[in-house]
Structures are given as structure tokens and as C-alpha cells.
Amino acid sequence: MARRKDGNHGGHGWFVTFADLMALLVSFFVMLVAFSTQDAAKLQVVAGSMREAFGVQDRIRYSGVIEVPGLPTRPKLKNAAQINPDEASGTPSEDHKGSQQSHGGKFDADRNFALAAASLRQALQDLPEVSEVSKNILIEETKQGLNIEIVDQNGRSMFPEGSREPYERTRAVIRSLSGPLRAMPFRISITGHTSATKLPVRQNYGPWELSADRANAIRKQLELEGVPAANFYMVAGRADTQPLFPDDPSIASNRRVTITLMREEPPVPQSVQP
């Protein structure tokens, strides 16, 4: 039997496919090289745009500080507990009992703290010098409540060195925050912190006294701005025992005053009858 001859295909059909594969591989490695070098400024712009476009998720939140230059981050999970689907309710009400009612209350509390954080951030945005102080203010939700951290930066402190009285720019921040704080029904805890240092301290006046005095100076400023005295739950100094960044306890960002909106309402004054 005569063998059938194939048409004229050139005999190089496999070469076209191979060339396409090589082109794809080259493009892939070019993309890898391009993404291996990141521009920090552009990365922050993109991250901010994504947050503005899609918002922030409210189920799982990551601990850490705002992504600003000069501040390290803390890769810890917080509020990562998941609700059992059998116990969850889309419309919590007074009729729900037990764990369903507690989960509904937790959702309301989280929403209130989210609104409080938004109000505080808006107050900071209204500051004319917000570009200068934005790196010194951190707002973070924790198990204890909503923390407003007034932190030092290298070359830009919120208090003069060794002084209990804040700079005028710090007082301007407190004045901006006092408006939302007056309208919020949360009790307020204020704690002062210092960074670890090997320098000798003044006689009878060390990190404990300095951190407590700075916290009390912030309380006085808030009270002068109209925050009710009954809203203050605690004013304390922690010295360097609770660093914000434990891996490097001597950096400037560990020097801070923390204003905490606690997860409870202030007591009713005795003069007010329920």
C-alpha cells in the first residue's frame, strides 16, 4: 500500500509553541524582578487607596501601628476569635439569650469603638499641622478599649526631655481630641511610659515619677478642655515596664502617653437620680 503524504506544514509547528512558552517565562521573571524592589512611598499610597476604597474588615484585625515612615510594626493578631455559626445572629435583640445576646452586645461595642476611632481621626485631620503630628498619634483597638497613643519620634518629641509639661503642639493635639472625648460615654484611663535608658536619673525623681506626671499633665489638659472629671478612671505611670516595641525597648517610640477609652460607661453622678 502506498504511504499517504502529509501536506506541507513546514515541520516546525512545535517551535512556535516553544517560543511562546519561552516568551511567557521571560515575562514572568521580569515581573518577579520588578516586584522584588518596592518603593515605600508608593506602597503606602497604594495601601491607603485600598483602605479608602474597600474600608476595614471588622472580624479579624491585626495589631500594629499606622504604616508611617520611622515606625516598626508588631505582627500580632488581635480580636481573632471567631463566632460559632450556631450561636451567631444577624439581628440580635432582647429576646436572644446566653451567648447570642453576648455576641450581639460585643458587636454593638465594636461598632461604638469604630465610630469613636473615626471621630478621633477626623478631629486630627482638622488640625492645620496634621502632616507634622500624624506620625506621633496612633489609634488602636485592644481588649481593654480604644488606645490613643501620643508617642515620641526621633528628633520630634511630644514632651521636652525630662519635663512633665508637654510642648504646645502636644496641647494642640489634646485640644483637638477633647471635643470627641467630651461626647463619648466611655471611662478614660491615662498611662505614661518611658523608654529604657542607662542614663543616671535625678535624685528622688526617675522614670516612674516622670511617666506618672506626664500622664497627669494630659489629664489636666483634657479636664481644662471640658472632659468631665467623672470620666477619668485611672492616671498612672508605667516607666519602661510596658514598651510599645519590646524588641527594642530603648527607641523613642516607647516614650508615650496612652489615653484609653475603656469598655464601660462612667458611673452616674450621685446628684442624678435614675
234-259: per-residue pLDDT in tens? 999 999 999 988 898 888 889 999 99
| Residues 22-27, mean pLDDT to the nearest whole number | 90
Main-chain phi, psi angles of 151, to 5 degrees? -110, 155
**Residue at grid coordinates 515575562:** 27
Residue bearing the bigger pLDDT, 47 or 20: 20
Measured N-to-C along each axis, helices 207-224 and 168-183 cross at an angle, to the nearest 10 degrees, of: 60
pLDDT at 139: 86
pLDDT at 201: 72
- Picking from 16, 35, 17, the residue whose alpha carbon sits closest to that of residue 27 is 35
C-alpha to C-alpha distance for 175 and 168, rounded to whole angstroms: 10
Percent with pLDDT over 90 in the chain = 25
**Residues, the chain, total?**
274
C-alpha to C-alpha distance for 13 and 144, rounded to whole angstroms: 68
- 71: Cβ contacts below 8 Å, ≥ 6 apart: 65, 135, 153, 253
Tell me the C-alpha to C-alpha distance, in Å, between residue 94 and each of 85, 98, 212, 264, 274. Answer: 19, 11, 43, 20, 21
C-alpha to C-alpha distance for 270 and 274, rounded to whole angstroms: 10
Q: Is the pLDDT of residue 100 over 70?
A: no
Q: Of 70-79, 143-152, 242-251, which range is least confident?
A: 70-79
189-212: per-residue pLDDT in tens? 999 999 988 777 777 889 999 999
- 131: Cβ contacts below 8 Å, ≥ 6 apart: none
SS3 of 124-172: the string is: HHCCCCHHHHHHHEEEEECCCEEEEEEECECCECCCCCCCCCCCHHHHH
| Residues 170-199, mean pLDDT to the nearest whole number | 89
Could you please report the per-residue DSSP string of 98-109?
HHHHHHHHHHHH
C-alpha to C-alpha distance for 177 and 157, rounded to whole angstroms: 18
Q: Is the pLDDT of residue 62 over 50?
A: no
Tell me the C-alpha to C-alpha distance, in Å, between residue 224 and each of 40, 171, 196, 218, 266. Answer: 40, 11, 31, 10, 19
Burial 164-191 (b: 16+ CB within 10 A, else e): bebeeebbebbebbbbbbeebebbbbbb
Q: Which fold has domain 102-267?
A: 60s Ribosomal Protein L30; Chain: A; (3.30.1330)
Q: Is the pLDDT of residue 88 over 50?
A: yes
